[in-house]
Amino acid sequence: MRSFFSKILISNWLFLVVLLLTAIFVLYITTIISSTYYIILFISYLVFSLYVAFHISYKIAESVTEQLRALQERTRLINAGEFNSAFIMTNISELSELSLSINAMSERLKLQFNALNIEKEKFNLLLENLKEGVFAIDKEKRLLFQNKSIPKLLIPEGSQSRTIDVIIKEKKILQFLNQHIANETEGKINIELNKKFYSIRLYSLKSDDKTLMYIGVVLDKTEDRERQLLREQFVQSASHELKTPITSIKGYAETLDSKLKLNPKSNEKKFLDAILRNTDRMIRIVEDMLTISKLETANMVFQPEMFSLKELVKNIEFTILGFLKLKGQKFIVEIPNDLIMYADLVQMEHVLLNLIQNASIYSPENCKIGVRALREEKYIKISVWDQGIGIEEKELDRIFERFYRVDANRSRNQGGTGLGLSIVKHIVKLHSGWVSVSSIRGEGSTFTVNLPVDNLSSG
């Protein structure tokens, strides 16, 4: 195979040689013919030269453009995904390199394309057969994909390419999706649809920090919810059933105590006191369990109202000072006079009493315990601080778990149930807030209740 460059060079040289020979021949002829034929001879020479030059150029150009056109057609087909189009053979070495590269590229693309197709099929099969419902929405709120596990009530079958405003009838879900798509955020919502419970999570798919689409995952939580309800009902019934006998044991023990008038130093009196102490503790545990159960099943009526936080603390100060006095502890209140809250007053009292009681229990005698509050731009922060034993960092996450106690004996001896902080966490969550804690072992702890202002002011 000859290179295109040498082909043009040889053709040009041959053409020059032919022109030279013809010119010599024409010069020779002029010596033997009369001068009247000179002009005819010269024109014939010119026509011949032009014809040969044109013919050679045409042939060269034709041979190249034909093969270039074939290559161009091949690349167009590859671009269109036709990887099996015919292999291009060329007799120009420069083009044959290009042709080989195009063929190799086509083969590689074909392999990659097939591998991608297989992966896509696998992914689609997986998505289709997932137990969880999955859907995708683009930024223009059009449904791109839905698998068959999506509840029909949520998104009817075959809704692809239509906008969610048209296909989703459930207002709460539509509002949730619209809000997150408008703010380009992710989120979660729990919803009851036709006696079934679903949890919907929305994720955003981003590239270069730009949201491309949103993926929704729908989980059927009906069974979990039913199991949870059964568990909660069991705890509620068990607590109710236990409350009556325990209360009557306490009643009998108190009657015995007052009737027998036992010697305070006698063993019988110690036993009776132990019975009374333990029945009190059992009553507290049962009551705390009932409170948690009511908070979880949302049986607890949430009745928000406007009140001054300082007034609330004043109202419970008598009770607080009652138990602080036993340990000679001082109570310090730093709450702005104008701090007005919109929350459930009884539940907030419960939260503060619980935290202040803990502060007192887990602090030594004669120390200070305080409540401070401030209103920030988005949150009202209420902190209960103490100068007590503190909590180790590794325990901080666990103390809000039910029945978790850092020192179970100490808590029991102080009449603790291990449920107080769990109740606090639940109540604050009901107010759309959260509780945080900071503590240094041996120096003290600060529990902070963070309540969103929005929630508190609008109700």
Under the criterion CB under 6 A, does residue 352 sit at the interface with ligand ADP?
no
E strand or H helix at 333 = strand 330-334
Instruction: Work out whether strand 340-344 and strand 368-375 pair parallel, antiparallel, or are unpaired.
Output: unpaired
SS3 441: coil
Under the criterion CB under 6 A, does residue 411 sit at the interface with ligand ADP?
yes
Under the criterion CB under 6 A, does residue 406 sit at the interface with ligand ADP?
yes
Task: Report the amino acid identity of residue 94.
Answer: E
Which residue from 347, 416, 426, 433 is in contact with ligand ADP, where contact means CB under 6 A?
Answer: 416
Rounded least distance, CB 357 to ligand ADP, Å:
8
Under the criterion CB under 6 A, does residue 421 sit at the interface with ligand ADP?
yes
Which residues 212-271 are close enough to bind ligand ADP by CB under 6 A?
A: none
Window contacting ligand ADP (CB under 6 A); options: 163-171, 239-247, 337-345, 404-412:
404-412
d(CA 161, CA 358): 58
Centre a 10 Å sphere on the Cβ of residue 141 and count the other Cβ atoms it contains: 18
Under the criterion CB under 6 A, does residue 90 sit at the interface with ligand ADP?
no
DSSP state of 387: -
Rounded least distance, CB 290 to ligand ADP, Å:
15
Which residue from 290, 343, 389, 427 is in contact with ligand ADP, where contact means CB under 6 A?
Answer: 389
Distance of CA 440 to the CA centre of its chain: 33
d(CA 287, CA 298): 16
Rounded least distance, CB 236 to ligand ADP, Å:
20
Distance of CA 356 to the CA centre of its chain: 36
d(CA 345, CA 258): 38
DSSP state of 399: G
Select 446 or 455, whichever has its Cβ closest to ligand ADP. 446
Which residue from 399, 428, 435, 449 is in contact with ligand ADP, where contact means CB under 6 A?
Answer: 399
* 378 contacts: CB under 8 Å, gap ≥ 6: 452, 453, 454
d(CA 386, CA 359): 6
d(CA 197, CA 225): 7
Under the criterion CB under 6 A, does residue 133 sit at the interface with ligand ADP?
no
Rounded least distance, CB 430 to ligand ADP, Å:
17
Task: Report the amino acid identity of residue 318.
Answer: F
Under the criterion CB under 6 A, does residue 391 sit at the interface with ligand ADP?
yes
Q: Are 384 and 370 in contact (CB under 8 A)?
A: yes
Residue with tokens 């305080």: 370
Which residue from 291, 445, 448, 450 is in contact with ligand ADP, where contact means CB under 6 A?
Answer: 445
Window contacting ligand ADP (CB under 6 A); options: 221-229, 319-327, 373-381, 411-419:
411-419
Under the criterion CB under 6 A, does residue 388 sit at the interface with ligand ADP?
yes
Under the criterion CB under 6 A, does residue 417 sit at the interface with ligand ADP?
yes
Select 173 or 435, whichever has its Cβ closest to ligand ADP. 435
Rounded least distance, CB 395 to ligand ADP, Å:
7
Which residue from 420, 426, 428, 449 is in contact with ligand ADP, where contact means CB under 6 A?
Answer: 420
d(CA 305, CA 301): 13
Under the criterion CB under 6 A, does residue 202 sit at the interface with ligand ADP?
no
Window contacting ligand ADP (CB under 6 A); options: 194-202, 272-280, 358-366, 375-383:
358-366
Window contacting ligand ADP (CB under 6 A); options: 50-58, 311-319, 323-331, 386-394:
386-394
Long-range contacts of 127-132 (CB under 8 A, 24+ apart): 132/217, 132/218, 132/219
Question: Which residues are near ligand ADP by CB under 6 A?
Answer: 358-359, 362, 386, 388-389, 391, 399, 404-407, 411, 416-422, 445
